[in-house]
């Protein structure tokens, strides 16, 4: 008997298929999407009456949805490199999230078509702005489109291979070592390429909203934010699946504790990156840079910044320090819900103040667009997740899972 056979005794695809509750969740997500599209005028009224506001709000919602897909892809590669037990629990969820990337490429079209309504560098700049704009050769509409196409192509190709090889673990009882090397051979350089492309993408799509603002740590803030919002969603999804088999047979407090620790680590990284950016900018005291923070401290945005400090760092940080909170779904889920909402507030804080007519102004589209986009993403995620077993049938980590259960 091979080692792989011993680690996967008597498991079948049928035993590990996701519960039918995913069908209900998918339908509810689609219903929320339709309700917000119709009631809020997501595609018709909002775009026709307030086209610029629609594009800004849509950008916030789009970055949330894209963050869930990119966070899934990034964490999937991290798991293959570290081989942690935490990844076995949510690997199929991460795979499903990465397979939503083609949908996110399609949903990028409103941003691509509305580029002139979002980015000031697409229009005629004043002499003063042109003199301070250091990225004129880089930020042009033509290369903007080329780079966006390249980003999505790279992300989708990496996700395609990882998902293809991951699916084989349901059917092929092959030696563990070659399989692991195959994943790691792609994940190691893939993670480097992923970080580079995501950095360039957020520079193109978010940082360039203000042509006078530059930050070398900007990409890292968004990469960590994407991983954080994805981990929060995966923990919430795991809690929903824990009521049913096979998740109820696999999840143990130790694995949940690992997920809580990873969430805590990303919370601290986000705070470190964000404060480093603030400290360097503030200590430099350069007029062309410091205005970015001044705009986000005026009026109601100062209160928003305080909310981010509390909800995106302080409160989750102190709660996640406690071991019992991380080992219990009833206490861990409220913490990740707070973080999920804080990520939405943080994206608003990054996007909206870039527009002079939008400083301090909150629109109903700022709620409608993100809810619609995320709801559609969740529906697509459920559709992808229910197409495969919730756990790989022939995975070498089954042996470690059985040890945690005392088998």
- pLDDT for 283 equals 83
Residues contacting 123, CB < 8 A, separation 6+: 116
For tokens 């229009």, the residue is 123
- Tokens 């200590």, residue located: 283
Residue 40 confidence (pLDDT): 61
Burial class (CB in 10 A: 0-12, 13-18, 19+), 293: middle
Q: Any idea which residue has 């143990």 for tokens? A: 252
- pLDDT of residue 178 exceeding 90, the answer is no
Confidence of residue 9 (pLDDT cuts 50, 70, 90): very low
Distance CA 305, CA 354 (A): 15
For the chain, domain boundaries:
41-132+141-397
Spatial separation of the C-alpha atoms in residues 394 and 176, rounded to whole Å: 9
Say if residues 373 and 37 touch (Cβ distance below 8 Å): no
Kindly state the average pLDDT of the residues 291-303.
Answer: 87
What's the Cα-to-Cα distance from 340 to each of 23, 70, 135, 224, rounded to whole Å? 23, 15, 33, 13
* pLDDT (0 to 100) of residue 401: 73
Average pLDDT over residues 138-146: 93
């Amino acid at each position: 008997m091979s080692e792989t056979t011993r680690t996967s005794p008597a498991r079948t695809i049928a035993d590990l298929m996701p519960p039918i509750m995913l069908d209900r969740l998918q339908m509810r997500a689609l219903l929320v999407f339709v309700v917000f599209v119709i009631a809020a005028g997501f595609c018709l009224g909002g775009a026709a009456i307030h086209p610029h506001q629609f594009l800004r709000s849509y950008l916030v919602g789009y970055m949330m949805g894209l963050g869930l897909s990119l966070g899934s892809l990034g964490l999937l590669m991290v798991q293959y490199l570290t081989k942690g037990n935490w990844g076995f629990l949510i690997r199929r969820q991460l795979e499903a999230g990465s397979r939503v990337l083609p949908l996110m490429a399609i949903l990028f079209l409103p941003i691509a078509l509305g580029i002139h309504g979002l980015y000031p560098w697409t229009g005629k700049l004043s002499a003063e702005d042109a003199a301070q704009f250091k990225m004129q050769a880089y930020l042009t509409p033509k290369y903007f489109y080329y780079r966006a196409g390249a980003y999505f192509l790279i992300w989708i190709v990496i996700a395609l291979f990882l998902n293809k090889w991951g699916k084989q673990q349901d059917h092929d009882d092959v030696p563990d070592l070659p399989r692991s090397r195959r994943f790691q051979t792609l994940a190691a350089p893939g993670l480097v390429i992923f970080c580079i492309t995501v950095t360039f993408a957020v520079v193109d799509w978010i940082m360039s909203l203000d042509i006078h603002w530059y930050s070398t740590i900007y990409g890292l803030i968004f990469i960590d934010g994407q991983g954080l919002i994805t981990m929060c969603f995966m923990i919430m999804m795991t809690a929903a699946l824990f009521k049913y088999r096979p998740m109820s047979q696999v999840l143990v407090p130790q694995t949940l504790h690992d997920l809580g620790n990873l969430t805590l680590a990303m919370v601290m990284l986000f705070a470190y990156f964000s404060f480093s950016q603030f400290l360097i900018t503030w200590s430099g005291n350069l007029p062309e840079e410091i205005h970015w923070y001044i705009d986000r401290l005026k009026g109601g945005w100062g209160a928003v910044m305080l909310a981010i400090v509390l909800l995106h760092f302080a409160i989750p940080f102190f709660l996640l320090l406690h071991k019992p909170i991380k080992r219990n779904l009833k206490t861990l889920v409220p913490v990740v819900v707070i973080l999920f909402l804080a990520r939405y507030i943080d994206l608003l804080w990054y996007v909206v103040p870039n527009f002079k007519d939008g400083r301090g102004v909150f629109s109903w589209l700022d709620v409608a667009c993100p809810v619609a986009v995320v709801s559609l993403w969740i529906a697509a995620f459920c559709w992808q997740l229910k197409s495969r077993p919730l756990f790989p049938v022939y995975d070498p980590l089954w042996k470690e899972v059985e040890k945690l259960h005392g088998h």
